[in-house]
Amino acid sequence: MHVIPKPFGTICRKPLKARWVLVTSRNQNWRSFCSNPVEITIWSRNESVAFVQKRTGLNDETAADALAKTLGDLTLAIEQAAAYIETSKITIPAYLKLYNNRRPELWQHESGPHGHKQTVATTFGLSLDEIEKKAPLGVLFLNLCAVAAPEGIPVTLITACGNVPEIEGNELLDDLAFNKAAGVFGTYSLVRFEGGTCSLHRLVQSVACDRMGEKKTTLYRDVMVKTVSELFPDEGYRNPACWPECEPLTPHAETLAEATADDSDAWQELARFLNSVGSYHHGRAAYAEAETMFCRALAIREKQLDPNHPEVAASLNNLALLFDNQGKNSEAEPLYRRALAIDEKALGKEHPGLAIDLNNLAGLFYLQGKFAEAEPLYRRALAIDEKALGKEHPGLAIDLNNLAGLFYLQGKFAEAEPLYRRALAIDEKSLGKDHPQTKIHRNNLNGLIKKMNNQNNQ
């Protein structure tokens, strides 16, 4: 009897019905295998809240929402937290307190679904281990991202940190090295790149910070503070053209400010960008946000510097101007006076910086109708700038316009006219006929001439 050997595998003589195979992966780079991969994102907030309530048996919707927000609506993290709450028989607020104060220890005691070992910390930690092996630069990049706000981080902000020697990050400026790191991130789905920005889940940030430890996290945060300080425009109050530069940096500046101590090694840069962010908010009439930034900058400088330091005066002026623009005269005046006294002592009585203080205080009196108090301050500012800046400087044109405006408001048209004309002549020569300042001063002169003509015709 001859035995016919069976072939390896099986042979199906009937045509197979269509089969669908569902493959899930954290690797984002699937287009070479699948023409239309579907990205599975985080839960919606309503889905997260509903799951927490059902999984824990607790109907505290407000607390469930707070938990979902803290965990960024990440499915695995929410299941992990809900399981701990149920097992430990604690409330959701009690869990949040543990999470905020003792997160690394808490994660060690938690388990994944059905007792699985793949918790949030384990999953992301293993991915970070692989990234460190394949692209060490990727860990450097991730550590910097971990101390910023999680969404919309400008890639240029991260690469600019390559100029800061503390982290030896010059490779961040190398396009090939950076692209290699970005590719590895795609493989492990830790960072998303889109339109010149990158984003990562806040729990990835938490894992990265836990791995770094407090000392190293502080180092990376200080590096980012210094970089933001260099990149953030400082003219947001007066120049709306810089707002598109300010906008993408603002959430990261505010995140860094919240986490950075006033006595950090980067306190000077912190105070500087707090003033810059405050000026941006001030320019956009976001007064409450501006006040928070200005007050914090002032507090840092008063703590770290001599009380009579010019940088303290600069912060006082910023805060006073903010109050001034809101009509809070009683709050603005003492700050202006203190700034003037500091600069007069620190800079000398003929420094152009003092002219700014004089104009600010005079402007406050001007708006209150205290013309007799405003005039000597305006005249003194004009004299300082004329000597320090020269007779054709656009800053001098502002002084001339201020004093002319004071005379105009009092009906002293004959005294106002030569000042307006001189200011306009300086602007046209130094700035050009189409400059915004030139146009403002031209309008002021034209308004005066019209007023004088109407008065003569009566």
Residue 147 in contact with residue 225, Cβ under 8 Å? Answer: no
DSSP three-state, residue 388: helix
pTM for the model: 0.77
Distance of alpha carbon 300 from alpha carbon 45, whole angstroms: 38
CA atoms within 13 A on the CB side of 7: 4
The residue type found at 328 is K
Instruction: Domain ranges for the chain, please list them.
Output: 45-102
Cα 10 from Cα 443, distance rounded (Å): 92
* Residue listed under structure tokens 């994102």: 41
Q: Which residue's entry shows tokens 């709050």?
A: 331
Rg (CA), the chain: 31
What does DSSP say about strands 197-199 and 153-154: parallel, antiparallel, or unpaired?
antiparallel
Q: How far apart are CA 308 and CA 346, in angstroms?
A: 7
Length of the chain: 458
- Residue pair 279/290 in contact by the 8 Å Cβ criterion: yes
> Collapsing DSSP states into helix, strand and coil, what is residue 192?
strand
Q: What local confidence, expressed as pLDDT, does residue 406 receive?
A: 95
pLDDT at 455: 80
Ordered per-residue pLDDT tens for the chain, 458 residues: 444 333 334 444 455 555 665 555 455 554 555 556 555 566 788 988 998 898 888 889 999 999 888 888 877 778 777 877 887 788 999 888 888 887 777 766 655 555 444 566 766 776 777 777 777 777 888 889 999 999 999 999 988 887 666 666 666 667 777 777 777 776 666 788 888 898 988 888 888 888 888 999 999 999 999 999 999 999 999 899 999 999 999 999 999 999 999 999 999 999 999 999 999 999 999 999 999 999 999 999 999 999 899 999 999 999 999 999 999 999 999 999 999 999 999 999 999 999 999 999 999 999 999 999 999 999 999 999 999 999 999 999 999 999 999 999 999 999 999 999 999 999 999 999 999 899 999 999 999 999 888 887 76
CA–CA distance from 39 to each of 23, 43, 127, 387, 398 (Å)?
12, 12, 19, 66, 57
Which amino acid does the sequence have at 360?
Answer: N
Q: For residue 312, how many other CB atoms are within 10 A of its CB? A: 24
- CA distance linking residue 157 with residue 434, whole number of Å: 34
